[in-house]
Amino acid sequence: MGLGVRIPLLAQKTKTMSGGFFKYDQSKIRNMINSIEELINNNGRAKTEQELKDGAWGTNYKEYYENYPKEKYFHKYPDEVIEEFKKGITHLQIAYVYAQRIDWLVSSDDSEESFIKRLNEDLNKLKTEL
């Protein structure tokens, strides 16, 4: 699995206000996925000039980073931790699909038959994206 791990297309395109049983909390799962991807993509990377300005305490950011040079970089996680982050993303993507499909079923947006059909379609689509 490469760094190109993405949220299922379903999670990106669902814009209708169907569902509601979970109070749309499945979007929190999507936010977790995005946050973990950001950790992976920034792993050990030097911060840009703007990121340095935005992240420093006080007004003189150059002085801040002279005193705290390690802060010029995002945290560097070991490769084995990054691999576990990627596994976590996969599990969260699956959890998102289940939460979304169950939400639509119990909110009467999907029948029991369409629940099974759409669940299988979404999971199969996710498998091809991974």
Is 2 within the bounds of a domain? no
Total number of domains in the chain: 1
Share of the chain above pLDDT 90, in %: 61
Per-residue confidence at 16, pLDDT binned at 50, 70, 90?
A: low
Q: Are 32 and 92 in contact (CB under 8 A)?
A: yes
- Confirm whether 59 is domain-assigned: no
pLDDT tier for residue 123 given thresholds of 50, 70 and 90: very high
Is 108 within a domain?
A: yes
Provide long-range contacts, Cβ within 8 A and 24+ apart, for 119-126: 122/8, 122/10, 122/97, 123/94, 123/97, 125/8, 125/9, 125/10, 126/8, 126/93, 126/94, 126/97
Provide the pLDDT for residue 17: 58
> Would residue 58 count as lying in a domain?
no
Q: Confirm whether 87 is domain-assigned.
A: yes
Whole domain around residue 125: which residue ranges? 9-45+75-129
Mean per-residue pLDDT for 53-65? 80
Residue 69 placed within a domain: no
Residues in the chain: 130
Is residue 64 very low, low, confident or very high in pLDDT (cuts 50, 70, 90)? confident
pTM for this structure?
A: 0.76
Residue 99 makes CB contacts below 8 A (sequence gap 6+) with 22, 25, 26, 29
Give 105 or 8, the one with higher predicted confidence: 105
* pLDDT at 88 (0 to 100): 98
Quick one: average pLDDT of 78-100? Answer: 97
Residue 18 lies in a domain: yes
Is residue 53, in this structure, part of any structural domain at all? Answer: no
